[in-house]
Amino acid sequence: MTIKIDNMGMVEISQLTHHPLNEELYPLELHKEDIDLLAEKLKEEEKATGCPNHTPLVICSKTGIIFSGNFRVRAARKNGQKKLRAVYCTKQYNPKEDRYIEIKFLEKFNVDGKRDEYNINVLIRRFNLQNKYFELSMGRPMNAQERNAFATNNRFDKTKFKNLLKVYEQDVNLFDKVVVGTITLNKALRKLGMVKPDKKYNPNRFNFFKCLDSNPLIVKNSLSKGFEMINQFKSIGDGIIFNDTMGWETNQITQPLSNIWMSAFVYGFNSVNKSDLECVTPRNRQGYADIHFENLTNKFGPQFLSERIEIKVGNWNGSASQSVVYGGMGSVRVSPHEYIIAFHNQQLNKHLVIITTLDKDDWKTDGKDANATMSLSHWFNKYGNTNKYRVLVGDIFKGNKSIEVTWADLPKVEYKQAA
């Protein structure tokens, strides 16, 4: 028997059968409103064009099983409509087909369809059903990589999906509150004991100012390495970076300078061969601070925030009030800790470098954490008369009318080409 589609492309829906997996994926009690709305649209479309459905059903030619359009058929039956536009699927329905493979096949039709496949309730249900049949097929549940692939393929952040799934599995009522927004996801995770408690600020944390005062070689070696790398950076392409025709935008130079000072100070701290001062950049540990002191962190204990120094670099824009560094995401929430802030002129031959303690109140925002800034004048007006900083190179002071900077000249280094 072949299900007949007439020469107008229409099929008698009385010949069709709903796919057995469709209601598992989309329970009718959860989609009554969707079907009611669709029924109204089918009536409007038929009145306007003579055909209820612009998008055809996709059906099995032998069995009449509906691969795509189960809701449209239910809506048409609700309206008393007898025919809908349809096309045959190249695949024949096989009741013995592996159900995981069948669900993946149905997903191809529905993800780009009109149904809200990205609603988190729908997404969680689809994942659980896929996982159920995946385990029956493969003898194991989906692993983290396969779960992440599901989230990514459905345009959903994989970490958020993982955490939502955790809440759903532990407490459906709490999950519902997250979905409607009466509680945040993080609060739900904390309530379920799934988030480690926030690490505490250590009021007796390591004193980097005393450390540098008693170990002048750290600063000397850091500055020496930093200036060496800046000279090498300036010489790239015979100075093309600073060429008026071919050079870089000024604001594109601060990021390389930030990385240079980061590496230089890690070099300086490690150069004195003291275990407590051993430190690393975040090259191999994403999420670390610019300068991370693992041994010091372990020394104080896991309950405290890490021992760290951040690097912030800015371009001198003619005055201390116009010269800013950018804090980035999270700056407005940080606990007090040390930063190395550095300013340079456009040609990178004048430098000011300071180590200072900063906290969340030092950053000005436009309402977005990613746009947090701090001007040099704001910093000096707040900290200039405190012991919460050390000038490492150059100087800054209050002049007669404004804040003045004494710049340190970049030492010139002659580099010879290798023979």
In order, the DSSP letters of 59-123 are: E-TTT-EEEE-HHHHHHHHHHT--EEEEEE-SSPP-TTS-HHHHHHHHHHHHTTSSS-TTSHHHH
Q: What percent of the chain has pLDDT over 90?
A: 62
Q: Could you tell me the two tokens for 93?
A: 């329905």
Q: Are residues 77 and 39 in contact, defined by beta-carbon separation less than 8 angstroms?
A: no
Q: What percent of the chain has pLDDT over 70?
A: 93
Q: For position 212, what pLDDT does the model report?
A: 96
Q: Which amino acid is at 44?
A: E
* Structural domains of the chain, with CATH: 10-191 (no CATH), 208-409 (3.40.600)
Helix residue ranges, H only, 157-287: 158-170, 172-180, 185-191, 208-214, 216-234, 254-270
Residue among 185, 147, 142, 181 at smallest CA distance from 167: 185
Arithmetic mean of pLDDT, 352-359:
96
Q: For position 113, what pLDDT does the model report?
A: 45
Q: For position 39, what pLDDT does the model report?
A: 94
* Residue that wins the pLDDT comparison between 388 and 333: 388
Q: Dihedrals φ, ψ of 383, to 5°? A: -115, -5
Arithmetic mean of pLDDT, 350-373:
85
Q: Could you tell me the two tokens for 290?
A: 């610019």
Arithmetic mean of pLDDT, 110-117:
50
375, pLDDT greater than 90: yes
- Burial of residue 214, with CB atoms counted within 10 A of its CB: 0-12 exposed, 13-18 middle, 19 or more buried: exposed
Q: How far apart are CA 189 and CA 88, in angstroms?
A: 47
Burial code (b: 16+ CB inside 10 Å, e: under 16) for 366-401 equals: eeeeeebbbbbbbbbeebeeeebbbebbbebeeeee
pLDDT band at 111 (very low <50, low <70, confident <90, very high): low
Q: For position 105, what pLDDT does the model report?
A: 86
